[in-house]
């Protein structure tokens, strides 16, 4: 007789918000992630348009958002690394992207 084990899967969602502030040459983005434990991770990104480039607000938003989300990613890796260390009682290996 063969026993089959079925993994239990849990659906988890994270809410990510991006907000932008723009002028003719600069775009600033704020990214916020709300984790299921109530923790909020926030980061900032920016983009600057060179004066010879066409005014393309969407491109500025994409660059600023990417930079903010990249910072969020690094903050989440740092947070996870600290939680691993706390749970194990030792210093763990670096988590690479």
Rounded CA separation 18/74 (Å):
17
Query: Residue-wise pLDDT tens for the chain (97 aa)?
Result: 666 777 788 878 888 999 999 999 999 999 999 998 889 999 999 999 998 998 898 999 999 999 999 999 999 999 988 999 999 888 877 777 6
3-state helix, strand, coil in the chain (%, to 5): 35, 25, 40
Q: pTM of the entire structure?
A: 0.80
What three-state secondary structure class fits 87?
A: helix
Rounded CA separation 95/97 (Å):
7
């Amino acid at each position: 007789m063969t026993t089959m084990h079925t993994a239990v899967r849990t659906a988890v969602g994270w809410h990510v918000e991006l907000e932008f502030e723009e002028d003719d040459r600069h775009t600033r983005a704020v990214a916020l992630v709300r984790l299921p434990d109530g923790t909020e991770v926030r980061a900032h990104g920016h983009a600057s348009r060179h004066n010879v480039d066409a005014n393309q607000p969407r491109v500025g938003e994409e660059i600023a958002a990417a930079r903010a989300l990249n910072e969020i990613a690094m903050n989440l890796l740092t947070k996870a690394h600290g939680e691993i260390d706390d749970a194990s009682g030792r210093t763990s290996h670096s988590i690479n992207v």
